[in-house]
Amino acid sequence: SAVISQKPSRDICQRGTSLTIQCQVDSQVTMMFWYRQQPGQSLTLIATANQGSEATYESGFVIDKFPISRPNLTFSTLTVSNMSPEDSSIYLCSVSAGNSYNEQFFGPGTRLTVL
């Protein structure tokens, strides 16, 4: 299984500012995913990030609000731009195991609170 770390683990931010979340994997992976989990809710996929190509965003999420970088096979960043209190969530990155299971391993998450 892959070991995934995220930075920061939590943050409190002011509205109108931006925060960049980092996701580091201990092995090379093709597919990385970013999810949002709003308080008391389930996980919702924001986008899929493949190295060497633009991220693919799900319905309701746009690049201007959630720009993603994927510079190499072990690292990705998600930026939450122009934040509002509605952006307060846990943001999780995950990677595909690359096996027939399509199993995904998750990072520990970033708890974001926007005031």
Partner 1 sequence: AQKITQTQPGMFVQEKEAVTLDCTYDTSDPSYGLFWYKQPSSGEMIFLIYQGSYDQQNATEGRYSLNFQKARKSANLVISASQLGDSAMYFCAMSGYGNKLVFGAGTILRVKS
**Strands of 1-115, DSSP E:** 4-7, 10-13, 19-25, 31-37, 43-50, 56-57, 68-72, 75-80, 89-96, 104-106, 110-114
Q: Which is nearer to partner 1, 30 or 82 (CB)?
A: 30
111 binding partner 1? (CB under 8 A):
yes
Q: Residue 85 phi/psi, 5° resolution?
A: -55, -25
Which has the closest alpha carbon to 67: 76, 80, 56?
A: 80
Kindly identify the residues of this chain, within the stretch 21-40, that bind partner 1 according to CB under 8 A.
31, 33, 37
53 binding partner 1? (CB under 8 A):
no
Q: Which is nearer to partner 1, 40 or 85 (CB)?
A: 40
Q: CB of 41: closest distance to partner 1 in angstroms?
A: 8
Among 70, 78, 87, 109, binds partner 1 (CB under 8 A): 109
65 binding partner 1? (CB under 8 A):
no
Q: CB of 98: closest distance to partner 1 in angstroms?
A: 9
CB 25 within 8 A of CB 95: yes
